[in-house]
Amino acid sequence: MKKIFLALSIIALFSFTMLQKTSSIHQFKIKSIEGKTIDLASYKGKKILVVNTASACGYTPQYEGLEKLYELKKNQLVIIGFPCNQFGGQESGTEAEIQTFCKSRYGVTFPLSSKIDVKGSAISPIYKWLCNKSENGILDAEIKWNFNKFILDENGKLLAYFPSNVKPDSEEILKFLK
Protein backbone atom coordinates (compact mmCIF):
# COMPACT_ATOMS: atom_id res chain seq x y z
CA MET A 1 0.00 0.00 0.00
CA LYS A 2 2.86 2.39 0.84
CA LYS A 3 4.45 1.69 -2.55
CA ILE A 4 1.21 2.52 -4.35
CA PHE A 5 0.85 5.74 -2.34
CA LEU A 6 4.47 6.68 -3.09
CA ALA A 7 3.99 5.94 -6.80
CA LEU A 8 0.81 8.02 -6.93
CA SER A 9 2.55 10.86 -5.08
CA ILE A 10 5.40 10.84 -7.59
CA ILE A 11 2.95 10.83 -10.51
CA ALA A 12 1.00 13.72 -8.98
CA LEU A 13 4.19 15.73 -8.37
CA PHE A 14 5.38 15.06 -11.93
CA SER A 15 1.98 16.08 -13.33
CA PHE A 16 1.98 19.28 -11.25
CA THR A 17 5.51 20.12 -12.42
CA MET A 18 4.57 19.53 -16.05
CA LEU A 19 1.42 21.61 -15.61
CA GLN A 20 3.53 24.51 -14.32
CA LYS A 21 5.93 24.27 -17.26
CA THR A 22 3.13 24.17 -19.78
CA SER A 23 1.51 27.38 -18.58
CA SER A 24 0.80 29.88 -21.31
CA ILE A 25 1.29 33.56 -21.96
CA HIS A 26 -2.49 33.80 -21.70
CA GLN A 27 -2.12 33.84 -17.91
CA PHE A 28 -0.79 37.41 -18.03
CA LYS A 29 -2.49 40.78 -17.90
CA ILE A 30 -0.36 43.75 -18.85
CA LYS A 31 -0.75 47.51 -18.70
CA SER A 32 -1.12 49.12 -22.12
CA ILE A 33 0.70 52.30 -23.07
CA GLU A 34 -2.68 54.06 -22.69
CA GLY A 35 -2.96 52.82 -19.08
CA LYS A 36 -5.61 50.17 -19.78
CA THR A 37 -5.36 46.46 -19.01
CA ILE A 38 -4.60 44.01 -21.80
CA ASP A 39 -5.69 40.49 -20.89
CA LEU A 40 -3.55 38.20 -23.04
CA ALA A 41 -6.21 35.49 -22.67
CA SER A 42 -8.25 37.58 -25.12
CA TYR A 43 -5.73 36.57 -27.81
CA LYS A 44 -6.47 32.83 -27.55
CA GLY A 45 -6.72 31.46 -31.07
CA LYS A 46 -4.10 33.86 -32.48
CA LYS A 47 -0.35 33.62 -32.59
CA ILE A 48 1.45 36.32 -30.60
CA LEU A 49 4.72 38.04 -31.48
CA VAL A 50 6.25 39.78 -28.45
CA VAL A 51 8.96 42.41 -29.09
CA ASN A 52 10.94 44.63 -26.71
CA THR A 53 11.13 48.00 -28.45
CA ALA A 54 12.91 51.36 -28.33
CA SER A 55 12.46 54.60 -30.27
CA ALA A 56 16.11 55.63 -30.68
CA CYS A 57 17.80 52.38 -31.68
CA GLY A 58 19.45 51.21 -34.86
CA TYR A 59 16.74 48.55 -35.01
CA THR A 60 13.87 51.06 -34.57
CA PRO A 61 13.01 50.89 -38.32
CA GLN A 62 11.79 47.35 -37.57
CA TYR A 63 8.60 49.07 -36.39
CA GLU A 64 7.75 49.45 -40.08
CA GLY A 65 8.16 45.71 -40.72
CA LEU A 66 6.26 44.84 -37.57
CA GLU A 67 3.33 47.03 -38.62
CA LYS A 68 3.31 45.55 -42.16
CA LEU A 69 3.33 42.02 -40.72
CA TYR A 70 0.55 42.95 -38.29
CA GLU A 71 -1.61 44.37 -41.09
CA LEU A 72 -0.95 41.38 -43.34
CA LYS A 73 -1.62 38.69 -40.72
CA LYS A 74 -4.05 40.54 -38.44
CA ASN A 75 -6.58 37.69 -38.54
CA GLN A 76 -4.09 35.16 -37.19
CA LEU A 77 -1.47 37.23 -35.35
CA VAL A 78 -1.21 39.93 -32.73
CA ILE A 79 2.04 41.80 -32.19
CA ILE A 80 2.71 43.38 -28.81
CA GLY A 81 5.50 45.91 -28.38
CA PHE A 82 7.08 46.31 -24.96
CA PRO A 83 8.98 49.63 -24.75
CA CYS A 84 12.11 49.29 -22.65
CA ASN A 85 14.84 51.77 -21.68
CA GLN A 86 17.44 49.26 -20.46
CA PHE A 87 19.73 49.34 -23.50
CA GLY A 88 21.68 52.54 -24.03
CA GLY A 89 18.85 54.75 -22.77
CA GLN A 90 17.18 54.39 -26.17
CA GLU A 91 13.62 54.63 -24.87
CA SER A 92 13.85 57.58 -22.52
CA GLY A 93 10.57 59.27 -23.49
CA THR A 94 7.31 59.24 -21.64
CA GLU A 95 4.67 56.74 -22.62
CA ALA A 96 2.73 59.51 -24.40
CA GLU A 97 5.88 60.45 -26.36
CA ILE A 98 6.55 56.81 -27.26
CA GLN A 99 2.99 56.32 -28.47
CA THR A 100 3.06 59.51 -30.54
CA PHE A 101 6.43 58.57 -32.07
CA CYS A 102 5.28 55.06 -33.00
CA LYS A 103 2.03 56.25 -34.59
CA SER A 104 3.35 59.31 -36.40
CA ARG A 105 6.65 57.85 -37.62
CA TYR A 106 5.70 54.22 -38.33
CA GLY A 107 1.89 54.12 -38.26
CA VAL A 108 1.92 51.55 -35.46
CA THR A 109 -1.54 50.18 -34.70
CA PHE A 110 -0.55 47.00 -32.84
CA PRO A 111 -0.75 47.06 -29.04
CA LEU A 112 2.05 48.59 -26.99
CA SER A 113 2.54 48.00 -23.28
CA SER A 114 3.61 50.52 -20.72
CA LYS A 115 7.40 50.82 -20.41
CA ILE A 116 8.90 47.77 -18.66
CA ASP A 117 12.17 46.07 -17.72
CA VAL A 118 13.01 42.94 -19.72
CA LYS A 119 15.95 41.83 -17.56
CA GLY A 120 17.45 42.36 -14.13
CA SER A 121 15.93 42.53 -10.66
CA ALA A 122 12.87 44.53 -11.79
CA ILE A 123 12.10 42.25 -14.78
CA SER A 124 8.45 42.26 -15.78
CA PRO A 125 6.71 38.96 -14.90
CA ILE A 126 5.87 38.32 -18.57
CA TYR A 127 9.54 38.60 -19.55
CA LYS A 128 10.59 36.47 -16.61
CA TRP A 129 8.25 33.81 -18.00
CA LEU A 130 9.42 34.30 -21.61
CA CYS A 131 13.13 34.10 -20.74
CA ASN A 132 13.15 31.14 -18.35
CA LYS A 133 12.66 27.54 -19.38
CA SER A 134 11.80 26.74 -15.77
CA GLU A 135 8.69 28.91 -16.27
CA ASN A 136 7.79 28.55 -19.97
CA GLY A 137 8.86 24.89 -20.33
CA ILE A 138 10.51 25.48 -23.73
CA LEU A 139 13.68 27.58 -23.67
CA ASP A 140 15.93 30.03 -21.90
CA ALA A 141 16.60 33.38 -23.58
CA GLU A 142 18.76 36.34 -22.66
CA ILE A 143 17.63 39.75 -23.84
CA LYS A 144 20.81 41.55 -24.87
CA TRP A 145 19.36 44.48 -26.83
CA ASN A 146 16.19 46.01 -28.25
CA PHE A 147 13.88 44.25 -30.73
CA ASN A 148 14.27 40.68 -29.48
CA LYS A 149 11.24 38.64 -30.53
CA PHE A 150 9.28 35.72 -29.15
CA ILE A 151 6.57 33.92 -31.10
CA LEU A 152 3.83 31.98 -29.37
CA ASP A 153 1.19 29.65 -30.78
CA GLU A 154 -2.59 30.02 -30.66
CA ASN A 155 -2.65 28.39 -27.22
CA GLY A 156 -0.08 30.79 -25.79
CA LYS A 157 2.77 28.28 -25.82
CA LEU A 158 6.23 29.58 -26.65
CA LEU A 159 7.47 28.45 -30.07
CA ALA A 160 10.71 30.34 -30.67
CA TYR A 161 12.96 33.25 -29.77
CA PHE A 162 14.75 35.57 -32.22
CA PRO A 163 17.52 38.11 -31.52
CA SER A 164 17.43 41.76 -32.64
CA ASN A 165 18.90 41.20 -36.10
CA VAL A 166 16.06 38.88 -37.20
CA LYS A 167 13.65 41.12 -39.11
CA PRO A 168 9.87 40.78 -38.76
CA ASP A 169 9.53 39.68 -42.39
CA SER A 170 12.31 37.10 -42.19
CA GLU A 171 11.67 33.50 -43.19
CA GLU A 172 12.60 32.46 -39.63
CA ILE A 173 9.47 34.24 -38.36
CA LEU A 174 7.19 33.81 -41.39
CA LYS A 175 7.49 30.02 -41.31
CA PHE A 176 5.49 30.08 -38.05
CA LEU A 177 2.69 32.01 -39.76
CA LYS A 178 2.02 29.69 -42.69
Length of the chain: 178
Is 102 catalytic? The answer is: no
Q: Which of 57, 84, 102, 131 is catalytic?
A: 57
Contact 105, 78 (CB under 8 A): no
- The closest alpha carbon to 43, from 177, 158, 120, 153, belongs to 153
Q: What are residue 23's phi and psi, to 5 degrees?
A: -60, 165
Give the torsion through C-alpha atoms of 64, 65, 69, 72, to 10 deg.
60
Torsion (CA) 178, 82, 163, 20 in degrees, nearest 10: -80
Quick one: which of 68, 82, 102 has its CA closest to 177?
68
Interatomic CA distance for residues 130 and 160, integer angstroms: 10
So which residues are the catalytic ones? 57
